[in-house]
Structure 1
Amino acid sequence: MKLSVKLFAGFLLISVLFTAVAIVNFRLSEAVIENTQWVSRSQVVVRNSASLQRNIIDMETGLRGFLLNGNEKFLKPYFQARDQMPALMQEMRNFVTSPNQKRKLDDIARYQQRLEKTFAEPLIQMKRGQDTLMTERQFDAQLETLVLGEQIMMDSIRGAFKDFNAYEYKVRGERSARLNESISNTRYLSTILTILSVVIGLSWAYYITRLITNRIMKMVTLAEQISRGDYKTQIVDTSNDELSRLSHSLNRMSATIDETFTELDLKNKELDQFAYVVSHDLKAPLRGIEVASRWVEEDMGTQLPANVQEYLVMMRVRVHRMENLINGILALARIGRTSQVEEEVDVNELLSEVVDLLSPPSGFYIDVQDNLPILHTVRIQLQQVFSNLISNAIKYHDKDKGHISIRHHETDEFHVFSVADDGPGIDPEYHSRIFVIFQTLQERDAMESTGVGLSIVKKIVELQGGTIWVNSEPGLGSTFTFTWPKQSGKDQKFL
């Protein structure tokens, strides 16, 4: 299975789980909302039922007060409660949904109307004395009958309310239990699904991360082995996904590098053999020419014409130049091809040794900055750079006296050294040319030079990871500046 398919499958699985969580929560929340609304409506119904009962009690109390003392003020609560009854009854009907409850409301309404028409209003009229045709005994008997009927009707109404409220409390209790159960189920299922989604998501993410990390670490290991020179190592990858293509590419790269370095090693061996042959086979005839020229001088003695003697001297000079040129070419070819040990190098001490070896003419003063750093580097390479730059400053000076100064400063990554002289200077158009092998700015007969020295300096500096450049104008001297990289914080400042 491709890696992209695995990633998409994991994303799809997590999306499905979270969608399921959302749907389940929505369904459960609907049940919770429905039960909550029903409980709230039931509370309104019970509250209105209590209000209806209070109104009926107010009617009963007002009626009995009036019957006891005949004061019309006692009828005020009766009429107020009677007038409020239709609105309360209608509101009750709007909230009641159960057919059983609706029938009980109809019974209560019918009992209330019967109480009002059959008993309450006749009692009020009798008390007001509107019926004057009755004898006192008839009146008392009629009054007692109406009061008894009114009490029976009130008991019926109370019984109806009791049944109504009992049923409402029972249903509300069931609904409250269902509400609590809905809330509990919502919490439980939501928690389970959420935890399941998180666990599956994290597990899949961990699986994909480990999968990719392990594959990448194999590639990193391969790269590190290649950097250490093990070019035959290969990654075993049978997944056949996108990273497999990268693994195969790295394997091909490793194999190609191995083939290239094997071929390069053969070429280097051939070059070493060639250099040895050149060094041996060319130097031997040159030495023979020099010896032969000296034999001619010795055999001819004073009979040797002056011009021939001059030619022989010129011949030996050219032979020495050729030998120096061969040595310079060999030195340039060998730079960076042999491993050399790094060590702690005190640059001040190194420059003292270089100046002593060069033995500058008495008219030249070499000014070396104090407190130069201690570097962890290859001593012979840094020595060769300073030796070539200082010797060039002396060799190409146009006067018998000169001043050469060596300075240093640091950047975040490099030590920066400069070798400045007060010689004839170099035209800017030749600044890049002087670092090319065999290039000199003076005739070889006027100044003995192989044209290899600055090429060697440039190659050494660049192999170290630095750069070299020259700042110069004709008649204003020259300043050669080169950078030498710091080695992993090992360099120290010598105080």
Structure 2
Amino acid sequence: MKLSVKLFAGFLLISLLFTAVAIVNFRLSEDVIENTVWVSRSQIVVRNSASLQRNIIDMETGLRGFLLNGNETFLQPYLQAKDQLPSLFTETRKFVTSSPEQTEKIDDIIRLQQNFEKSYAEPLIALKRSDTLDILDFDSSTQLDSLVLGEKILIDSIRAAFRDFNAYEYKVREERRERLGSSINTTRNVSTILTLLSVILGISWAYYITRLITRRIMKMVNLAEEISRGDYKTKIIDTSRDELSQLSNSLNRMSATIDETFSELDRKNMELDQFAYVVSHDLKAPLRGIEVASRWVEEDMGTQLPPKVQEYLLMMRIRVHRMENLINGILALARIGRTNQIEEEVDVNILLSEITDMLSPPDGFKIDVQEDLPVLHTIRIQLQQVFSNLISNAIKYHDKASGLIKVRYRETDEFHVFSVSDDGPGIDPAYHERIFVIFQTLQERDAVESTGVGLTIVKKIVEWQGGTIWVSSEPGQGATFTFTWPKEAVEVR
């Protein structure tokens, strides 16, 4: 007999018993269903109410931000909320049609919101866009103050209306919830015996089926474990002729396909590495030629070379070096996790001392490293790249001639946690994600020489190791880059 027939017979018997339970429950569940539907509807109403309040707050916040600096970006929350409010109001009103009190309250809120939008928000936006808010005369200023005061009063009225709306909804919902609890208890007492019978039968049948197929399933599990360890040539021997036999054959074909795919992937990776080195060499050669040619021009012309041309030649060499650094950065980013590197014992104190000597920070900069840092068993060059990039960035982007850079450490159960902080200009929270994106810099490239690859390399190394990195910073308060390094090596495929 096929497994499908055995399973069907058992499930059919269980289904018949559950059908009997369902028929009994149906006769007792009308009140339960009614109250459940009402409670669910009430939850949607409260959720929509919260969404409406958030959108109205977004409108207010976006409006005030736009009025303060005139930047159209600040109007995005206002415009998005304006688009979403009609559908939310319509949906909420639909759910409260059975309650005249709530219908009246939501209608009042709709009128107040429309009044806020038409009588205050849109006029203020129009004034700001016409550049009249910055050059107001006395009468216009009085009008503006009146609009702003009216807008505040109206927003307070909307909040009060929402409080009344939600309070009424919670009160009625609690009454319905008590009725629902009573109905559920009654239904539970009647159906418990039949449900227990169904469960006993289901457990007995499940035990029978489990014993029937466990041995063959374990063969498939063992195959999957062998594949996960890299043995793609393993096979399952199954002489049965049922559905599980077909699955075994499919797993055997999958194993063979994975073996072929990984072999092809290894070959492609080797070709890609070779291509990267060739392209790197071919790109760097003309760059070096440009730099040499510019120096020849300076040597041949000597003092006859106009200052402006000397400036152009210097700018040319700077751009050539930037391009060469960018090529090196892209190659380093591509090689992370794709080359076999040996793990070793790394004393972080010694490593940071070497990094400090290598970076040679300018006079006025001090690097304060916490004592008694741990000894890690890890890939030295990768940890060195992370610290080097973070410390050199702290120096490079500092806005003063002197500064203090601190390296601190703590640990959790699973991670070593390092942080590199500075007392520089800081980073606006709006750019905390952007700085880890490749080629993204917060300053003009001509102001600070940067390829925009360093932090991308840091993030990729840390995540490849199984850790995370983030930045904590506010403008004018310096920046702290914190990253975690696993205590145990993470297997990455």
Conserved? CA contact 2:465–2:489, under 8 Å: no
Determine helix, strand or coil for the equivalent of 1:471: strand
* Cross-structure match for 1:288: 289
Distance 1:383 1:240, change over 3 A: farther
Aligned counterpart, 1:396:
397
- Paired position in structure 2 for 1:364: 365
Residue 274 of structure 2 aligns with which residue?
273
1:313 aligns with 2:314: yes
TM-score w.r.t. length of structure 2:
0.55
Shift of 1:486: 1.6
1:458 corresponds to: 459
Total equivalences in the alignment:
297
CA-based RMSD: 2.9
CA distance in 1, matches of 2:342, 2:248: 36
Deviation at 1:255, TM superposition (A): 3.6
* Structure with greater contact order relative to length (CA < 8 Å, sep ≥ 6): 1
Residue 351 (structure 1) aligns with = 352
Structure 1 equivalent of residue 244 of structure 2: 243
Q: How much has 1:408 moved relative to structure 2?
A: 1.6
The one-letter code matched in structure 2 to 1:407 is R
Q: Secondary structure at the match of 2:388?
A: helix
The alpha carbon displacement at 1:5 in A equals 6.5
Q: How does 1:371-390 map to 2 (within 5 A)?
A: 371-390=372-391
Q: Name the counterpart of 1:19.
A: none
Q: CA deviation at 1:253?
A: 3.6
* Partner SS state of residue 442, structure 1: coil
SS of 1:219 mapped into structure 2: helix
Structure 1 segment 139-218 matched on structure 2, within 5 A? 212-218=213-219
Distance 1:350 1:211 in 2: 59
TM-score (norm 1): 0.55
Structure 1 pair 244–354 and aligned structure 2 pair: CA distance change class (3 A): farther
The percentage of counterpart residues that share the same residue type is 84
1:316 CA displacement: 0.8
Give 1:294 deviation, angstroms.
0.9
- Which structure has the greater CA radius of gyration? 1
Structure 1 residue 7 displacement after superposition: 8.7
1:252-271 CA distance string (max 9 Å, x none):
44344334433433432332
CA distance in 2, matches of 1:280, 1:333: 16
* Aligned residue number for residue 197 of structure 1: none
Name the CA shift for 1:2/1:346 in 2 (closer, same or farther; >3 Å).
Answer: farther
Separation in 1 of the partners of 2:300 and 2:450?
32
* Alpha-carbon offset, residue 390 of structure 1: 0.8
CA shift, 1:206, in A, is 12
Q: CA deviation at 1:444?
A: 0.8
Q: Does 1:447 align with 2:456?
A: no
CA distance in 2, matches of 1:283, 1:212: 62
Matches of 2:307 and 2:364, distance apart in 1: 34
Match of 1:487 in 2: 488
The Cα shift of 1:433 comes to 0.8
2:435–2:442 contact (8 Å) kept in structure 1: yes
Listed one character per residue, the Cα deviations across residues 211-239 of structure 1 (whole Å, up to 9, x for unaligned) are 74543443233223322323343323232
CA contact (8 A) 2:355 2:388 kept: yes
Question: What residue is the counterpart of 1:299 in the other structure?
Answer: 300
- Cα offset for 1:277? 1.7
Distance 1:217 1:279 in 2: 50
Aligned to 1:54: none
CA distance in 1 between counterparts of 2:253 and 2:363 reads 62
The one-letter code matched in structure 2 to 1:416 is V
**More displaced stretch, 243-252 vs 384-393:** 243-252
- In structure 2, the CA distance between the partners of 1:3 and 1:375, relative to structure 1 (3 Å rule), is farther
Q: Distance in 1 between matches of 2:358 and 2:466?
A: 27
What are the superposed Cα offsets for residues 257-291 of structure 1, whole Å, 9 maximum, x if unpaired? 33443343343233212211211111111111111
